[in-house]
Structure 1
């Protein structure tokens, strides 16, 4: 759990600071180390594989909500339907965290929704302030959008972690 918590904090920082400089490789390097540490110390690491898929799918489905509407523009990135690589790394690291440092949100959908809304707004605001993105239509549309989307995404990821954890537990 400690590896995941510290790893995700480093992942967020490397992704945002790298994103502000149009670089994705720092976030992928940190994600790789984070996952390797989890796989090394967790004998049931296979449960992470479905969570990586949950992260991929949610990134693919949810990022276009703010990108295609012009609510958010990532620095050095002009694709309206596809997020830059550092965002993909964040989604993957975040999704896997539901088996570790965010496990406390599993089975608590209302807490997950509140955590997602507040955390999403805080995260996008910090990303904008640190230069990784901009909000061309002003801060309020992206804050509302992020809050609503993340209030749904976090309980979904927690539910996915419950499903994959239970399935893995029954096969052990």
Structure 2
């Protein structure tokens, strides 16, 4: 049940975020993301792990998005002056971090499958945001951007799923040791 709730909620946030950005507004996506993250923190059984994933995801997302924008491969609507990556895209990265445990558990011990899924799914998401909602624009020659997105997401998803597995296992081991010490 949590799988489906998380999937539906994440997709709703994605829709709200890119449709808002397509209309030049960052705040609908940032607000929807804040609600999603708050909900996931409330229902999560692994809050510490998900918060660590959030930190890694935000740093990774900010670095990759900034690189892609500065390389001239992607432009975004509803930008801000803090970073080349707009607030709404970083809000999506934050939400994505909270999908790793409930949605991508099967990828945690399959890094090559995670890389393949990221390399295909990441660019498809950007294509939908670009073509369907005009929230992002891939600059010609577009193959540079599509390759960069595939490589970036092909590295990001296995990194996040591997960290999730390690941190979840470490938490379980720590809890077991604590219980045995009592």
TM-score when scaled to structure 2? 0.85
Rounded Cα–Cα distance in structure 2 between residues aligned with 1:91 and 1:42: 18
Question: 1:122 aligns to what SS in structure 2?
Answer: helix
Rounded Cα–Cα distance in structure 1 between residues aligned with 2:60 and 2:9: 21
Aligned residues: 172
Rounded Cα–Cα distance in structure 2 between residues aligned with 1:122 and 1:79: 27
How big is the alpha-carbon RMSD for the aligned residues of Structure 1 and Structure 2? Answer: 2.0
**Structure 2 alignment gaps of length 5 or more:** 176-182
Residue equivalent to 1:94: 96
Q: 1:110 to 1:80 in 2, by over 3 A?
A: farther
> Deviation per CA, 1:94-140, whole angstroms, max 9, x where unpaired?
12211111222111111111101111121111111120011222432
Residue equivalent to 2:62: 60
Question: 1:146 aligns to what SS in structure 2?
Answer: helix
**Structure 1 alignment gaps of length 5 or more:** none
Runs of 4+ displaced beyond 4 Å: 78-81
Residue equivalent to 2:179: none
Question: 2:99 aligns to what SS in structure 1?
Answer: helix
Residue equivalent to 1:144: 147
Equivalent residues of 1:68, 1:80 under 8 A apart: no
Rounded Cα–Cα distance in structure 1 between residues aligned with 2:69 and 2:81: 8
TM-score when scaled to structure 1? 0.90
Rounded Cα–Cα distance in structure 1 between residues aligned with 2:71 and 2:150: 16
Residue equivalent to 1:165: 168
Rounded Cα–Cα distance in structure 1 between residues aligned with 2:141 and 2:19: 21
Larger CA Rg, structure 1 vs 2 = 2
